[in-house]
Structure 1
């Protein structure tokens, strides 16, 4: 199974949005510069550069992925930078919920030797679906709030 974050805009959509913002900011800045307030131009440039940098970072983070391959004796976890193999008989899922429901629950894959948090970029519904899907695959799910439904 492949885990990816929700992506509301493609990279192409993000580039168009950055262009629209840059045109709007520079149009206003040039208008002010024409009436004598030229000092606004460097600030407009800094604003556009920061906006483009932030939008690029956010868009880039939506292209993260994790792959979980479940075999009869092993579970393989893979990302762009990391690959781990868990032994299936000793592996289990830890579903850790916050005491006050202020933070999202975490879904961790654990065996006797290693632990990895799965789908840190997923929303609440997707994390619950991940827990349910892994449980349906025969992996034991342990919850810290077992008394909740």
Structure 2
């Protein structure tokens, strides 16, 4: 998702992955699966197949870990500040973990075309030998929107074809 924020220093963009379900929604889905599995496992236990109970518990734990890790990664965000003289990119999950400040005049933006029609193109900020991936979690529509915003702010986006190799 691309959000345009107002800032004293320039234009600021907040880039986040799309979140189809909140943390509370994830918990509700997990509890629903727990209820279904508990009823099935109770029937199996009453039928004498008690050996499946530990595996059902492990399955629920693995599912909970998967929900947690996915929800955590969906909390990632990047803030891109487009000031008259510089670009500042901040990345993090719950707080700023990494930050780059690059001169606007000599920083290039590369748009690497997708290798497959179902995958979005990739964006990179390039300055001298430094290459920083820009919002790799965006879908195709959000990537197009971000490119349009960047070009509208006067930044030059160079389009490249992907390197040869596997399609994904």
TM-score (norm 1): 0.91
Q: Which runs of 5+ in 2 are unaligned?
A: 1-12, 162-168
Match of 2:29 among 17, 31, 38: 17
Does 2:52 match 1:36?
no
Pairwise CA distance, 1:100 = 5.0
Give the drift of 1:12. Answer: 0.5
1:91-147: CA deviations, max 9, x gaps?
Answer: 1211110355464211111122422111111001111111111111111111125xx
- Within 5 Å, which residues of 2 pair with 1:1-149? 1-80=13-92, 81-99=97-115, 101=117, 103-144=119-160
Distance 1:32 1:115 in 2: 55
Relative to total residues, which structure has the larger helix share, 1 or 2?
1
More strand by share: 2
Say which SS state the counterpart of residue 82 (structure 1) adopts. strand
Aligned equivalents of 2:119, 2:17: Cα separation in 1: 17
In 1, the alpha carbon distance for the partners of 2:116 and 2:50 equals 52
2 CA distance for matches of 1:57 and 1:46? 16
Residues of 1 paired with 2:146 and 2:124: CA distance?
Answer: 11
What RMSD, in angstroms, separates the aligned Cα atoms of the two structures?
Answer: 1.4
Question: Does the 8 A contact of 2:14 with 2:78 survive in 1?
Answer: yes
How many residue pairs get aligned? The number is 145
- Maintained 8 Å contact 1:93/1:131: no
Q: Contact (CA 8 Å) 1:94, 1:141: kept in 2 or not? A: yes
